[in-house]
Amino acid sequence: MAAWTCRHLLYRGARVLAGRTGAVAAADSCLFQSVRTVKTTTWWEEHLTEDNKSYMRKSLGEEYNRQIAAKLHPLKDEPWPRQEWTKGLVAVKLGMAPVWTKTGERHVVTMLQVQDCHVLNYLSKEEYDGHTAALMVGGKNASPFYKTDEEMEMFRLAGVPPKQKVTTFKVSDNAIIKPGTPLYAAHFRPGQYVDVTAKTIGKGFQGVMKRYGFKGQPASHGQTKTHRRPGASGPGGDPAKVFKGKKMPGMMGNVFDTAHGLKVWRVNTRYNVIYVHGSVPGHKNCLLKVRDTNLPTYVEKNINPPFPTFFCEEDEQLPEDLYDEDLFIHTQPSLTL
Partner 1 sequence: MACRTVCQLLQRRLASSAASVRLSAAEERGRRSAVFSREQARQRSLYPRTEKIEVTLQIPGLQGTLLVMNKGLSTPHSCARHLTEWYVTSSALALVDGKPWSLHQPLTQSCSLSLLAFKDTDPLLVNQAYWRSCAALLGQVLQDAFKEDFSVELLRLPEVLVTSGAFCCDVVLDPQLDAWNPSEESLRSLTRGAQQLIHRDLPWEPLEVAPPVALEVFSHSSDTHLRCVFIHVYGTHTHSCLTSYLSLRCGDHVLLSGGPLVARTGLCSQYEVTAIHRLGEGKWGLHRRAQGLSLPLQQQAHHTVWRKLRSRAEKLVEVPTGSTNEAISDTLTPPSAPEQTPPQQ
Q: Which spans of this chain sit near partner 1 (rule: CB under 8 A)?
A: 1-2, 4, 36, 38, 40, 42-44, 47-48, 56, 59-60, 144-145, 148-149, 152
Closer to partner 1 by Cβ: residue 11 or 146: 146
Q: How far is CA 143 from the centre of its chain?
A: 17
Nearest distance from C-beta of residue 68 to partner 1, angstroms: 18
Closer to partner 1 by Cβ: residue 46 or 315: 46
Closer to partner 1 by Cβ: residue 41 or 224: 41
Distance CA 267, CA 185 (A): 7
Nearest distance from C-beta of residue 12 to partner 1, angstroms: 24
Answer yes or no: are the C-beta atoms of 90 and 289 closer than 8 Å: yes
Closer to partner 1 by Cβ: residue 38 or 240: 38
Nearest distance from C-beta of residue 61 to partner 1, angstroms: 13
Nearest distance from C-beta of residue 164 to partner 1, angstroms: 16
**Taken in order 186, 187, 192, 196, is the CA torsion positive or negative?**
negative
191 vs 50, 109, 184, 330, 336, CA distance in Å?
A: 53, 13, 17, 18, 24
- Helix, strand, or coil (residue 191): coil
Closer to partner 1 by Cβ: residue 160 or 290: 160
Return the closest-CA partner of residue 192 out of 125, 49, 55, 290.
Answer: 290
258 - beta bridge partners?
197
Nearest distance from C-beta of residue 292 to partner 1, angstroms: 36
Nearest distance from C-beta of residue 38 to partner 1, angstroms: 6
Question: What are the φ and ψ backbone dihedral angles of 18, each rounded to 5 degrees?
Answer: -70, -25
Strands 204-206 and 273-277 turn out to be: unpaired
What is the DSSP track for 237-282?
A: TTT-SPPTT---SEEES-SEEEEEEEEEEEEETTTTEEEEES--SS
Closer to partner 1 by Cβ: residue 158 or 175: 158
